[in-house]
Amino acid sequence: ARISADVPAKRLGTPEEFGQICAFLCSVHAGYLTGQNIPVDGGLYVSAF
């Protein structure tokens, strides 16, 4: 509960949400995407600044 309070989205991600990112990265729609970091953290990375 404490961790999710620190996340701007106020909740932890679900396995389905992480799976959707993985599916996108493995799809033809991500064919032009190279060398990127894609944070899937509910905004926690941005709130660190």
Rounded CA separation 18/48 (Å): 21
The confidence score (pLDDT) of residue 12 equals: 87
N- to C-terminal Cα distance for the chain? 22
pLDDT tens column, 3-39: 788 888 888 889 999 999 999 999 999 999 999 988 8
Please state the domain count of the chain.
1
Parent domain of 6: 2-47
Rounded CA separation 46/43 (Å): 5
